[in-house]
Amino acid sequence: MSSGAPGYRRRLASSHRSRSASPAAAQLITAAAVGPRSVGPRSVGLRSVGLRSVGPRSVGLRSVGLRAAWLAMLLALCLPATAAAPAGPTRNLILVTIDGLRWQEVFTGADPQLLGDPAQGAAAADADARFRAADADDRRRRLLPFLWTVVARHGQLHGNAAAGNRIKARNAYGVSYPGYNEILTGRADDARITSNAPIANPNRSFLADLNRLPGFQGAVAAFASWERFTWILDEQHSGLPINAGLREARGASLSWRERRLNQLTRSLPHPWAPSRQDALTHGYAMAYLQRKQPRVLYVAYGDADEHAHQGQYHEYLAAARRADDFLRELWQWTQSRAGYRGNTALMVATDHGRGSGSAWRDHGRTIAGSHDAWLAIMGPDTPALGEQLTPATHYLEQIASTAMALLGFDSWRDAASWQPIDSALARNTPP
Ligand SMILES: [Zn+2]
């Protein structure tokens, strides 16, 4: 498909909000939803009134009725009658991937067998003290406290394979580039994306598509520890701002934090060069979020996979725990900002699974478990269903269209690529 915007359609408010809004309220919502999407991130202080009042779990519509009515009147005066009527509170999206973090650790915490003997050394003793517990629920809360308190309570966790609830990689290879291609472009491509080789991705990501659409132009950015993301996201042709590997922040208006991170990038050792450690990636992403306030931010962490390949289970766990802290910081930032609070969705996934038992450190086509992934979603359009324990199978390639659906689109690219995960969208969940 050529560039431009064919194939995109914003869904109508009336079809989206039927569950939580009366016809009269739906009119207000339609009007309220039009405005905020057509303006920049910081330009309308009233946005939160309309948007927060229509979330799937909200009951505050009546209490803000007067303000909403006033807002609707204001918007009726200043908006063209032909403006599209996108719906839903979700205005911003943060997509995070944690490379190679197994569903086993996500849903059952540290593996007591792999934790081994705390007498093996300081790292083992530290991991043992932090992550060991008799009960799997305890262990997963110790390892990933943000996922198992905030997201489990307010969002959804898919991929507990022990319960038959699966998020699978559709691609044949069970390695990173095919996994990220699937996540970001909405379709596995087993003919062309067969390994991690640095080739320009012939498939366009939903991030690149968004970045060309009105309202999203210049408001999409990607940060990654793995340098290969410049290929995966086809930096050369996509026009997407990508900061990956050992790249420093550039530009005339860098913050103190970004200049400091640039210094650290130059002075720190980089054990996985030309990739970098997640603390730098996260720092750059946070600094960019604060300074540029993008609507769509993608952050790709990589430490867990690097440690796993080296067989360092304790370090792998510590990396997972740090990623959980990063998620918390990203989320707390959005919930403390008027342009983001109540209208931001968070999606977190991994690109592949790994083997089990002594094969835990590896993954790939021939290693069982490499196609088992997981997915966490939280946001104003996603029902708070918590951990999903009913048998179901979804695929990494559904993440892109789920993201587009959350952002208010009801089609993307072509019918075959449009396969959002229904339960993640309030409009598709039975009352
Ligand atoms: Zn790997």
Give yes or no for a contact between 47 and 343, defined as CB atoms under 8 angstroms apart. Answer: yes
Distance (Å) from CA 310 to ligand 1 centroid: 10
Per residue in 343-371, pLDDT tens? 999 999 999 999 999 999 999 999 999 99
Distance (Å) from CA 352 to ligand 1 centroid: 8
Domain boundaries, the chain: 9-78, 92-428
Query: What is each CA distance from 401 to 71, 155, 172, 177, 372, in whole angstroms?
Result: 31, 18, 21, 19, 20
Strand order in the sheet with 392-395: 372-373, 165-168, 392-395
Distance (Å) from CA 425 to ligand 1 centroid: 31
* Among 104, 183, 137, residue whose Cα is nearest residue 347: 183
Residue 393: count other Cβ atoms within 10 Å of its Cβ.
12
Residue 82: is its pLDDT beyond 80?
Answer: no
Structure tokens belonging to residue 250: 């550039």
Distance (Å) from CA 319 to ligand 1 centroid: 14
Residue 46: is its pLDDT beyond 60?
Answer: no
* Among 353, 372, 371, residue whose Cα is nearest residue 362: 353
User: What pLDDT sits at residue 123?
Assistant: 85
Distance (Å) from CA 157 to ligand 1 centroid: 23
Per residue in 85-104, pLDDT tens? 345 699 999 999 999 999 99
Reported CATH class of domain 92-428: alpha beta
Distance (Å) from CA 305 to ligand 1 centroid: 5
User: What pLDDT sits at residue 426?
Assistant: 85
Mean pLDDT value of segment 61-74? 42
Distance (Å) from CA 316 to ligand 1 centroid: 12
- Poorest-confidence range of 86-100, 160-174, 269-283? 86-100
Distance (Å) from CA 306 to ligand 1 centroid: 7
**Angle of CA points 71, 73, 78, to nearest 5°:** 95
Distance (Å) from CA 61 to ligand 1 centroid: 47
Distance (Å) from CA 377 to ligand 1 centroid: 23
Mean pLDDT value of segment 399-406? 98
411 CB-contact burial (10 Å; exposed 0-12 / middle 13-18 / buried 19+): middle
Distance (Å) from CA 289 to ligand 1 centroid: 28
User: What pLDDT sits at residue 21?
Assistant: 31
Distance (Å) from CA 355 to ligand 1 centroid: 11
